[in-house]
Amino acid sequence: MADAITSTDYIKHHLTNLTYGNHPENGWSFAHTAQEAKEMGFWAFHVDSLAWSLVLGLIFLFIFRRAAKKATSGVPSGMQNFVEWIVDFIDDSVRGSFSGKNPWVAPIALTIFAWIFLMNLMDLVAIDWLPMLAQWVGGTFLGMDPHHVYFKVVPTTDPNITFGLAIAVFLMMLYYSIKMKGIGGFTGELTLHPFSAKNPLLQAIFIPINFLLEFVSLISKPVSLALRLFGNMYAGETIFILIALMYGAGIGFGIFGGVLQLGWAIFHILIITLQAFIFMTLTIVYLDMAHQTSDH
């Protein structure tokens, strides 16, 4: 594939999602080019990102459900040991960062960590294997031009996925903030801090200033969550693509590219784990902040 198109086309192809949407001229269809995907607008679906997110989420549920059903008080299996180790790790993280009482926080943290880790892990699959398989399937069974079959396999390199995760965390923050503090308490948190005064007139002046500062702080939480995960994974995927280009530049560059790819893949294991851990930890911290009342 890399030797049939230019390097620029190769990079663009690997960074373009399989998009389905309502095109102004073609109606509801798959985009054949990146320009067509752009013309489909906001409500187009990134089919590859959504499909892989769903599949990886089901894999997570299957593995943990199977381990739970086969759990024994005797000598545990390797899978049970692995799952119990992850659960203990998540439990320790929640105990260290969450001071409230909520039985849902640990399951939420476990789901976020495992799901994001699995999505990030797709970055270690050889860059051309699954896209080439998708091209073969599209060309053989769907009658599509193989070069117009786009297929990204790392959901967290898609900002739609990372923002979806971050917005879900944001909605939980709002829900628990209102539940624990009430509408009045949550409104007061946004309008009476950080500046306050005993003088009613001065306090009235401070309210819009406080709201602006607190609102920006509130909105920055999901935005930073989404962009941090997306930026790190997108950069890592781009580096894998650039290294893959070296295989088409001769034997010498191919061998050098193989060494680089192995080194980057080993280092990237740390990145994909760290990004899942950071997203989970910040989620726990944000939920802890949402549970804190004036009594704390």
Residues with a catalytic annotation lie at 224, 228, 232
CB atoms within 10 A of CB 63: 15
Residues with Cβ within 8 Å of 189's Cβ and at least 6 positions away in sequence, in order, are: 177, 181, 214
Which CA distances in Å does 80 have to 55, 65, 129, 282? 22, 11, 31, 27
Taking phi first (over 0 means left), then psi (-120 to 50 degrees means alpha), and beta for anything else, what does residue 20 get? beta
Which residue's structure tokens are 């599209």? 138
CA–CA–CA angle 92, 97, 98 (5° rounding): 100
Quick check: bond before 194 cis, omega within 30?
Answer: yes
**H-type alpha helices, the chain:** 7-14, 34-39, 47-69, 78-97, 105-121, 129-141, 159-191, 200-245, 251-291
Beta-bridge partner residues of 19: 46
Tokens of 17: 């999602």
CA atoms lying within 13 Å on the CB side of residue 206: 16
How far is the C-alpha of 143 from the C-alpha of 108, rounded, in Å? 42
CB atoms within 10 A of CB 266: 10
User: Is-contact 198 208, C-beta < 8 A?
Assistant: no
